[in-house]
Amino acid sequence: MTKVLKCISPIDGSVFAERPVLDHGAAAALVERAREAQALWAARPVQERIDLVLAGVAAVGAMNDDIVPELAAMMGRPVRYGGEFGGFNERSQYMAEIAETALADIAVGEDATFKRYIKRVPHGVVFVVAPWNYPYMTAINTIAPALIAGNTVVLKHATQTLLVGERMARAFHSAGVPEDVFINVFLDHDTTSGLIADDAFDFVNFTGSVGGGRAMERAAAGTFTGLGLELGGKDPGYVMEDADLDAAVATLMDAAMYNSGQCCCGIERVYVHESLFAAFVEKSVELVKGYKLGNPLDPETTLGPMANVRFAEEVRAQIAEAVAAGATAHIPTLEGDDGGAYLSPQILTNVSHDMRVMRDESFGPVVGIMPVRDDEEAIRLMNDSEFGLTASLWTADIDRAMRVGDQIETGTVFLNRADYLDPGLCWTGCKNTGRGGGLSVIGYHNLTRPKSYHLKKVTT
């Protein structure tokens, strides 16, 4: 009997979409088609590949009026925020702009006897395993540069956003990208692992949980397949005594609560200099109390349901454990909190790193806030985590921010902003957040391999 993937809408618990999965043989045949198509795709001029990819991006944009409510139905983000096309397009455009330079040969030297240079060569078939929380933007981080670099792409999306890969493939094909160059697949975990173990792919990019990343590594063991892994996060904010308090409150609370806290680089813990602590908490509570929790299809809703009831249950458990251990919860239960996927946001004080809410990834609308005496204490607490994706610093002193940033174990340091992915910078992490890096020139380097040429000239 064919297994079926079902997207359960967090709006009402109904089945929003379902698709049958491919068995191993059918999936392997599709991957082989991508492999056979890769050489001809890579042989096209770089500018031709760029033009086709950007045409595919534009075709996705043309679908945005349908995509926004579809995303709300699949994973709960309110329609008032307009979807993901802004970031989707920004990242694609930037990677297109730098492609010629990033992929250019590196000249080492030429004289009468030798010509030496290094080429950037596509890996071959790139497998993108994309998450549900920002399903378009996280996928395009790899898809656009992988295709531009001359790879073919096989895309597998999370079941919670089942229709995203199908839409992207349809858009890119309509723009002229050959069907075998960009293939969307519906797979279960066993088939996914089996294909990786069979050495079907030349590079795998996975965004998801730490457990999922470990499964990818186990599947790839012994194949020498390159892996790019962006896994969990527990991103901190640090508000110093000279910070713009109002800006810090507005930005950090938005970074903690936007998308119901389901952001890879969302702020999950905040450390505030003791001189500003009371005011920061008061202003944050006032702001968050004003959120409207409800149906994401309602334009007035500012906070939708979490993508799945079990995700909300984990956040509720972390909050309950913290309160039982002495934490203070500041946000009353909002109208619309149904005890299921619809979850009230929460701000906690009197927290410590003995509590799971300050250690484990919450991935929900909850943030713990602690006072600190100085930079030394803040740095120690920010580094007291198994994760390292981003950190958000707040001060008027950029030199101080750089000194603090140099001591934080993280992939990105923000100053006076948070929760943003700049395509000109490498998107990367450390510790259990994973390995590798997307976007920027380094993103192209990770999606290609170096090939050296040492050419001795024949002289007479």
Among candidate residues 103, 88, 105, the one with its CA nearest the CA of residue 143: 88
What domains are there in the chain, each with its CATH number? 4-231+433-456 (3.40.605.10), 235-425 (3.40.309.10)
The span from the CA of 135 to the CA of 137, in Å, is 6
Q: What is the average pLDDT value for the chain, to the nearest integer? A: 97
Residue 143 confidence (pLDDT) above 80: yes
Rounded to an integer, the average pLDDT of 135-139 is 98
Whether residue 387 contacts residue 433, with contact meaning beta carbons closer than 8 Å, is answered with yes
pLDDT at site 419: 86
Is the pLDDT at 2 greater than 90? The verdict is: no
Distance CA(358)–CA(337), nearest Å, equals 23
Q: In the prediction, which pLDDT does 459 show? A: 82
- pLDDT tens digits for range 217-233: 999 999 999 999 999 99
pLDDT digits (tens, 9 = 90+) for 247-306: 999 999 999 999 999 999 999 999 999 999 999 999 999 999 999 999 999 999 999 999
Which residues in 231-266 are b (16+ Cβ under 10 Å) and which e?
A: bbbbbbbbbbeebeeeebbebbbebbbbbbbbbbbb
* Residue 242 pLDDT level (bands cut at 50, 70, 90): very high
Instruction: Find tokens 């079902």 and name the residue.
Output: 6
Measured CA distances, 392 to 17, 283, 405 (Å): 38, 18, 9
Q: Name residues whose C-beta falls within 8 Å of residue 436's C-beta, 6 or more positions apart in sequence.
A: 205, 227, 228, 229, 230, 428, 446
* Helix/strand/coil for 229: strand
Question: Residue 431 has what pLDDT?
Answer: 97
Report pLDDT digits (tens) over 344-364: 999 999 999 999 999 999 999
Work out the average pLDDT over 50-73.
Answer: 98
Residue 189: pLDDT band with limits 50, 70, 90: very high
Question: For residues 197 and 285, what is the distance between their CA atoms, to the nearest angstrom?
Answer: 49
Q: Could you count the other beta carbons within 10 Å of the beta carbon of residue 426? A: 18
- Tell me which DSSP letter residue 81 carries: G
pLDDT band at 54 (very low <50, low <70, confident <90, very high): very high
Please state the pTM of the whole predicted model.
Answer: 0.97
Return the pLDDT at 44: 98
Structural contact between residues 114 and 217, judged by C-beta atoms closer than 8 angstroms = no
The residues that bridge with 8 in the sheet, in sequence order, are: 15
Instruction: Report the catalytic residues.
Output: 230, 264
Measuring CA to CA, which residue among 200, 173, 187, 176 is closest to residue 33? Answer: 200
